[in-house]
């Protein structure tokens, strides 16, 4: 890249031009932004927004990106949810590229839980070292996918990926999925 910017990816379906313009504006000061409008991403949702951030999920990222700018991203996502209402109206995927890759899928139907999950996403950084250091984890984890659990009000590891397998948590044990 001649401009020295890393490339962030934004894929979307059912998102207004105004909302995409704001996403682009928030990320374009820090990244080159590639946007892709999808035909239909997930038939269970009215709108889908996927962000791929080419940096590691860490405290350093939030300092560099600026907390104030991240708060604006969260505000926009909350506003998108408010405008669409409850039920399965909005699904947001946020992936951070690092070792391992860290992804968040936010698809809770109720707006208050959606907002709560966004506010708690930053706190996963503090728990990540503990999450990566557990006994029954498969070796060679390349990606961790978190989902927000409404019952416990926490982000929980949902799926682990290794080079050639996918694992889901079943009764506190990671089981391969075929």
The domain locations on the chain are 6-177
Q: Which own/partner contact pairs does 124-133 have at CB distance under 8 Å and 24+ positions apart?
A: 124/57, 124/155, 125/57, 125/58, 125/59, 125/62, 128/57, 128/102, 131/157, 132/100
- Model confidence over 37-50: pLDDT tens digits? 998 768 889 999 99
* Predicted TM-score of the model (pTM): 0.91
State the pairing for strand pair 101-106/90-96: antiparallel
| Closest to 53 (Cα-Cα) out of 37, 36, 75, 30 | 30
> Please, what's the largest Cα pairwise distance for the chain?
49
State the pairing for strand pair 143-149/101-106: parallel
State the pairing for strand pair 143-149/90-96: unpaired
The residue with tokens 């992936």 is 95
pLDDT given at position 1? 39
Which whole-number Å values give the CA distances from 145 to 16, 111, 122, 142, in the listed order? 27, 21, 15, 10
- Model confidence over 53-91: pLDDT tens digits? 999 999 999 999 999 999 999 999 999 999 998 887 999
- Model confidence over 108-149: pLDDT tens digits? 999 999 999 999 998 999 988 887 777 677 888 899 999 999
Q: Is 3 left (phi over 0), alpha (psi -120 to 50) or beta?
A: alpha
In whole angstroms, what is the distance from residue 30 CA to residue 67 CA? Answer: 13
- Per-residue pLDDT at 24 exceeds 90: yes
Structure tokens given for 63:
């300092």
Is the separation of the CB atoms in 145 and 103 below 8 Å?
yes
- Per-residue pLDDT at 33 exceeds 80: yes
Mean pLDDT (the chain) is 91
């Amino acid at each position: 890249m001649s401009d020295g910017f890393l490339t962030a990816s934004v894929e979307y379906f059912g998102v207004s031009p105004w909302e995409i313009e704001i996403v682009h504006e928030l990320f374009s000061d820090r990244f080159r932004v590639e946007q892709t409008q999808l035909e239909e991403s997930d038939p269970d949702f009215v709108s889908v927004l996927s962000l791929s951030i080419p940096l590691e999920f860490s405290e350093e990222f939030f300092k560099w990106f600026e907390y104030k700018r991240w708060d604006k991203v969260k505000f926009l996502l909350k506003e998108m949810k408010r405008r669409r209402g409850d039920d399965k109206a909005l699904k947001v995927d946020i992936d951070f590229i690092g070792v391992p890759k860290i992804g968040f899928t936010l698809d809770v139907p109720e707006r208050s839980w959606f907002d709560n999950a966004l506010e708690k996403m930053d706190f996963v950084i503090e728990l990540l070292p503990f999450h990566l250091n557990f006994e029954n984890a498969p070796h060679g984890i390349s990606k961790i996918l978190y989902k927000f659990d409404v019952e416990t009000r926490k982000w929980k590891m949902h799926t682990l990926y290794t080079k050639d397998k996918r694992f889901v948590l079943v009764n506190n044990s990671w089981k391969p999925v075929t």
